[in-house]
Structures are given as C-alpha cells and as structure tokens.
Amino acid sequence: MSKTPPASRTAPRRITCRGEEWIVREGARAVTAAADETVIAWDLEGRPYAGQLGGLSWRRGLDGRWREMRRGLEGPPANLLDESASGRVRAALRERAARLLEATGFGASSRHALEHAAAHDAARDFALGERYRTIYGGVPVLPPDRHLALVVQARTGCAWGRCRFCTLYAGRLSSPREPEEFTRHLDEIAAWLGAGASLRAPLFLADADALAAPVPLVETWLAAARDRFPGRTAGGFVDLCTGSARGASDWARLAGAGLERVYVGLETGSAELRRRAAKPGSPELLRPLLDALARAGLGLGLIVLGGLGAPRYADEHIRATKALLDSLPLRREDLVLVSPLELPEGVQPIEGAGAAPSPEATRAESARLYAALRHILAPRGVRVAPYDLAGFIC
C-alpha cells in the first residue's frame, strides 16, 4: 500500500558543484534545484516534470511529451517541443543531475531520484510514456487546478460523445471498469509511478463523465482508490443532466467517500447555443445541481468555452453566460474555468454561426469572456481561471 504523502518539506540548502552554487530542496514529494537561470523539479523516481532552462519554461507530462509553457488566454498557446528540442532539454537535465550527485549529504530518497534523473535519456523517456499510454489508453484531460493529480481511470471515454466542439474522446468506447478490473488498474499505476506517486496528491476520477455512474459504483471506485493511495481527496467530471438529477443526499454520500469537487461542462449560458452545439440539457439545470452540491459540502468546477459561437454569436454567448453566472449563488469554494475552443482548422461547431473563427480570434474572444466573468465574480470571492487545453500536460 502506498504511504500517505506527507505535507512537510526540508529546508532548502546551498551546495556548490564545479564552482556553481545551487539551492536544493529535498521535499517529501519532489526534489528541486535552482542555479542562475536554471530551475528543475523531479519526482522521487527522477522524472523531470517542470522547470526553466535559460529562457525556456518547460513541463514534461507523464506521457513523455514536453511543452514550452506560456501564460494568458490571448497570446499564443504553449508549444509541444519536438524531439530535437526535448532531446536538448533532457541532456541538459541529465548533466545537471549528475553534477548534483557529486555533492554529499543527500537523503536516500533524494539520491534515488537524482540517480534516476541522471539516467533519464530518450529510451527511458519513451518507455515511461509508452507505459502511460498502455495504462490509460490515451491522455486523460484534467482541470488546471488538478494538473498534478493522480489520475485513476474509472471509466473510459465519454458516454455522450456527440458534442460538436469536442474531439477529445473520438474513437474511444465508453465503458465503466468493474471493481476487480479497477483494482488491477490501480496496482498498475502504483507499480509504474513508484515513489513518484507522492508528488500527485489529489486523485482525479477519469474519464469524461465518471461521476455519472451509479452512486454505489462511484463509492466503490473512490474507496478502492483511496485505499491504494491514502490521504487524498478526489475530483471528477459529471454531465449537467445526470448531475442535476442527483439529489443532495447522493452527493453527500460521495463527499463522505472522499469526493471534494465536481466539474461540469456548462460551455455557455445560452440554451440555444448549447442545442446547436449538440450539448444536451438546459443551462438552467445548473441551479439544482449547484444547490445539491452546496448542501453536500462539495465544490463546483464550472467550465465555459471561450470563442463559442464566434464570430456571429460571440456577443450572445458572452452576454448569456455572464447573466447566468451572475444570477447563481456561487461560493468561494467554487471555481469557474474559461477554456478556449480547440478545433481542427475550419471547423465551426455551432450551426449557423458563420465561418469558423481563427485560433487568434478564438483566443481573443476567450480573453473577453474571462474578463467579463472576473468582473462580476471576483468581487464575490469566486475564482475565475484559464483552462487552456492547448497547453495541457498531464
């Protein structure tokens, strides 16, 4: 059984390697090192996951993809690094890890991490990424506040799968895992992550609508996941129709089983635009769902799409979404996420909305929506945050 990830961290210390001064922190979940314009964070199995190298801010996903990270909804999205660029980063990180290993005084877990980091070449990178895809069958999507979550795939794919704007689960069958299969899945994750599991403190119950499964089955999944990875609360997605039909007592059962936040794709406050996007259910279903979650003590993660309906219906989308959210009793524990549409070139997911907007126009409309929602919600203490799938990395 995995140990509960402790919250404490050791104090940083200064070490000198080959005339270069480093600040190193040996944490209970990760090892970090910084010198001049270099910052590197490794999990306890030596997987690099975030940092800065010169002017490049990078992150590596568990699937082996590397990204250059950028901020903001209006600017260009984060770029995937090609093999040449990621290879240069890998080589630089290996060299830094080997350099740090020349110092003394590291604890056993930190030395273990750095030894693996010093051997993190292209072959290891590829093998770890392939194992990820074998376990999950694809790349699960996480909300930004759960980007370091430990993903447990209780259900594959999306049961609806007909939204015109979504290609995330194309070609993937929707199927819940039976308890025995789910337990084997958890064992595979634990063996693959090893000590690196400690970095990923919250749980996320994937895929698209895992929380739409019958309450007793969701309870079983949560119990098994928290038994295998103790000390963690969980989040997960549910569709608006299923979520709103579930009463506060059922949500309270799931809260008692360790659920902390429920994520829902509202997409827009306009009933007409939801219909044209082939999204089932009225936006008004959000009211009973929010009430039930509040009474159960659960937080809401509400996802809206930036650029939906652009160019013809962009103003209607922003107006209706702003009006609906302004009328809801959202709480400080709730979170509103603005996600720019990510579509194949030339695709317009809203019937009758005109030509498809360019990526630049979509991001500009996303920035407009973000500003409008922050204007009404920030004074109430409700967080509004970007949810940029173009920059997503697991």
Burial class of 173 by CB neighbour count within 10 A (0 to 12, 13 to 18, 19+): exposed
CB 61, CB 52: distance < 8 Å:
no
Of the three residues 65, 95, 126, the one that is the final residue of a domain is 126
Together in a domain, 258 and 278: yes
Burial class of 291 by CB neighbour count within 10 A (0 to 12, 13 to 18, 19+): middle
Q: Is residue 378, in this structure, part of any structural domain at all?
A: yes
Nearest to 164 by CA among 304, 240, 276, 318: 276
CA geometry: angle 93, 97, 100, nearest 5 deg: 140
Q: Is residue 114, in this structure, part of any structural domain at all?
A: yes
CB 304, CB 321: distance < 8 Å:
yes
Together in a domain, 157 and 107: no
Q: Which residue has the tokens 């990820």?
A: 132
Listed in sequence order, the DSSP H helices in 101-194 are 108-118, 122-136, 179-193
DSSP 215-235: HHHHHHHHHHHHHHSTT--EE
The CATH number linked to 149 is 3.20.20.70
Together in a domain, 343 and 204: yes
- Domain range for residue 281? 137-391
What are the percentages of helix, strand and coil residues in the chain, rounded to 5?
40, 20, 40
Of the three residues 126, 156, 189, the one that is the final residue of a domain is 126
Q: What is the pLDDT of residue 76?
A: 61
CB 262, CB 334: distance < 8 Å:
no
Q: Is residue 86, in this structure, part of any structural domain at all?
A: yes
Nearest to 238 by CA among 323, 296, 307, 180: 296
Query: Between the CA of residue 187 and those of 225, 287, 351, what are the distances in Å?
Result: 10, 39, 45
Of the three residues 96, 126, 156, the one that is the final residue of a domain is 126
DSSP 276-304: HTT--S-GGGHHHHHHHHHHHT-EEEEEE
Query: Quick count: other Cβ atoms within 10 Å of Cβ 293?
Result: 26
Together in a domain, 263 and 342: yes
* Nearest-angstrom CA–CA distance, 67 and 70: 9
Q: Is residue 203, in this structure, part of any structural domain at all?
A: yes
Give the H or E element holding residue 338. strand 335-340
Tokens of 289: 């769902």
Tell me the one-letter amino acid at 56. Answer: L
CA geometry: angle 369, 373, 376, nearest 5 deg: 145
Together in a domain, 80 and 120: yes
pTM above 0.85, yes or no: yes
- What residues contact residue 214 under an 8 Å CB cut-off, 6+ apart? none
Together in a domain, 148 and 106: no
Biggest alpha carbon distance in the chain? 67
Tokens of 115: 């030894």
Together in a domain, 120 and 206: no
Domain count, the chain: 2
Q: Is residue 131, in this structure, part of any structural domain at all?
A: no
Q: Is residue 1, in this structure, part of any structural domain at all?
A: no
Q: Is residue 227, in this structure, part of any structural domain at all?
A: yes
Together in a domain, 122 and 167: no
Together in a domain, 215 and 85: no
Helix axes 248-256, 286-296, angle to 10 degrees: 40
Together in a domain, 179 and 72: no
Together in a domain, 164 and 264: yes
SS3 24: strand
Q: What is the pLDDT of residue 171?
A: 65
Together in a domain, 311 and 361: yes
Q: What does DSSP assign to residue 55?
A: T
Q: What is the pLDDT of residue 5?
A: 40
Q: With a cut of 50, list the residues of the chain below it in pLDDT.
A: 1-8
* Nearest-angstrom CA–CA distance, 71 and 73: 7
Query: Between the CA of residue 198 and those of 7, 230, 334, what are the distances in Å?
Result: 10, 10, 26
Dihedral pair phi/psi, residue 306, rounded to 5°? -80, 135
Give the H or E element holding residue 139. none
Q: Is residue 4, in this structure, part of any structural domain at all?
A: no
